[in-house]
Chain A
Amino acid sequence: MAETAAPLQRAAVATQPARRRWSIPWSRVILGLFSALVLLYLVAPVAIVIPMSFSAAKYLSFPPPGLSLQWYQNFFARADWTSATIQSIRVAFTVMILATVLGVAASLALVRGSFPGKDIVNLIIVSPLVVPAIIVAIAIYGIYVRLYLVQTFWGLVLAHTVLAVPYVVVNVSATLRGFDIRLEQAAQSLGANAWQTFRYVTLPMISPGIFAGAVFAFIASFDELIVALFIAGARGRTLPMRMFEGLRMEIDPTIAAVSSMLITFSVLVLASAEFARRRSRGD
């Protein structure tokens, strides 16, 4: 419907503002300028960090007076930074695998199955996305104290999995709904069992959703600060915790180097997610 209307719309757009074309469309110019400023506000602070991380000065200034890699050297030379980074990668990677397996299974059940209480289960699964992190943090802290899970690797992994699973379920459910169930039925009528149908028909079809969900899950854990603050402890300190400390005490310029690496990482992630999405849509 939308596709058939598009050429018609375009033709109409071309003829529509005829009476306004002779004067400069001031409202349009102002709107464009305003939008450009808002986009600048969004991107400039993120972009400015990268040149500053290569600054040769001892304080942060822009533009930097000279170039050096001192803050990167500082990052890689200091064990408190590298161990926090390694810890974050370990936790986020484990969370990604756990959340993806759990989330894909749950999505299959929620989209394909029909059993009593499905709506409530759906609601429970997405609610970690809206309940403020501070509430989740102190609630989990409250029971971890009793279970002796505070300051343990698996304690943090499980808590982060709670926060990451919804992203997987939302993304995978969306692709599952968009895909033709008759393909599964055809496979089954040709003699495939449930596992074969999943492995050779469903899984390849929903892989873009799984990929997107897994990426979200990784980021959800990798960037998470508040829950980690309460339950990770000094020994299991994650990168966000180390950054938070660095920002609370003095503004440590090493964070510029860390931030630049994280920004590069998120741009790469964004690009790969976009690539996966395009490939899945075949354009």
Chain B
Amino acid sequence: MTTGEVLAGRAYRESTTSRRLEFRRQLGYFLLLLPTLLLLLVLFVYPIVRLIVTSVYDGNHFTLEHYRRIVEVDLYLRVLQTTFTIALQVTLLCLILGYPLAYFLATLRARTARLLMILVLIPFWTSILVRTYAWMVLLQRQGVFNRWLLELGLIDEPLRMMYNRIGVLVGMTHVLLPFMVLPAYAVMRGIDRNLLRAAYNLGASPFQAFLRVFLPLSLPGVAAGSLLVFILALGFFITPALMGGRTDMMIAQLIETQIRTQLNFPFAAALAAVLLVITLVIFAIYNRLLGLDKMFGGGY
């Protein structure tokens, strides 16, 4: 610190040492926060609390009937199972596609990597509806892929690539892949290459060096990406609603139909509560492992 900075700091500290002034300062900050806090309490926290209350309280007494229904009716259990399976499959696909890509980008010069990163960011910034539409055009029965394959004589009959699991996985992985690549890349960029060189010097093959040094160091980014993809996949609605099969329903779709066609708000609320608890548990794990501030706006 220069003398000027020291003096400025001291003058500042002296001007605010009085406790009353400090209290007024903090009160001012709190007032700045108040509108946002009120908005979120009234339109986010309270509605969700009320939702959960609706799922267990029918106006007169406490009931777990709606939860029992989720567990007892095969259809609903299957929806939960499908939701988990799809979320897991999408996370694995993102891992398989995203890890090598992030690794490759991290080994390039920063300038080149930034240019290629634009190709990850353009779809990231494009509306999910637009991207789902693009996949529908490509994968539908009369779609681009089927036409090409028919013209090339590779198939005799159009393949079913949509309104089934394949369509959902292709579409969802496309939407969620950037959420894997961005944190994985950020962590891999930060890994000190000298550590790898040390491994080579000690006689490790490139593969051993990768497995024993690089891979463990890259895990925080991979874990962040995987948990994020998994959380987002669990609550997915648009892609499965547009590209999924009728028997392959995910929980968000079930919640939507329960309200829009069955008008069964308490049951939908119970389903939402289940989804919420699962999401929050994973969120808490994420926070424990990595800290929430790493999740968003991580400086890409």
Task: Report the separation of the CA atoms of residues A42 and B281 in the bound assembly, to the nearest whole angstrom.
Answer: 30
Q: Mark contacts of B43-78 with chain A using CB atoms, 8 A cut-off: 1 yes-contact digit, 0 otherwise.
A: 111111011001000000000000000000000000
Asked if B133 is at the interface of the complex by the 8 Å CB criterion, the answer is: yes
Contact B296 A42 (CB under 8 A): no
Q: Is the interface of A mostly helix, strand, loop or mixed?
A: helix
8 contacts between A and B (CB under 8 A): A35-B101, A38-B100, A46-B126, A131-B276, A138-B272, A142-B54, A267-B122, A270-B118
User: Which of B39, B127, B259 has most A Cβ within 10 Å?
Assistant: B127
Contact A185 B12 (CB under 8 A): yes
Name the contact of A9 in the complex, choosing from B50, B193, B242, B295 (C-beta under 8 A). B193
Contact A42 B174 (CB under 8 A): yes
Shortest distance in angstroms between B117's beta carbon and chain A's nearest beta carbon?
A: 10
Name the contact of B276 in the complex, choosing from A106, A129, A135, A259 (C-beta under 8 A). A135
Task: Report the separation of the CA atoms of residues A45 and B292 in the bound assembly, to the nearest whole angstrom.
Answer: 32
Contact B36 A102 (CB under 8 A): yes
Contact A105 B123 (CB under 8 A): no
Contacts between chains A and B (CB distance < 8 A), count: 276
Q: Mark contacts of B113-128 with chain A using CB atoms, 8 A cut-off: 1 yes-contact digit, 0 otherwise.
A: 0001011111101111
With A41-B174, A43-B122, A45-B135 already in contact, the answer to whether A138 and B268 are too (CB < 8 A) is yes
**A106-B33, A132-B276, A161-B39 given; 13 more Cβ-contact pairs under 8 Å:** A38-B97, A59-B142, A102-B36, A129-B295, A132-B234, A134-B275, A142-B50, A159-B43, A162-B39, A170-B297, A222-B127, A225-B128, A263-B122
Task: List chain B residues, Cβ under 8 A from A158.
Answer: 39, 43
Task: Report the separation of the CA atoms of residues A61 and B178 in the bound assembly, to the nearest whole angstrom.
Answer: 27
Contact B39 A12 (CB under 8 A): no
Contact A113 B134 (CB under 8 A): no
Contact B32 A108 (CB under 8 A): yes
The 7 A-B residue pairs with the shortest CB-CB distance, nearest first, are: A132-B235, A113-B29, A139-B47, A109-B33, A45-B134, A106-B36, A35-B104
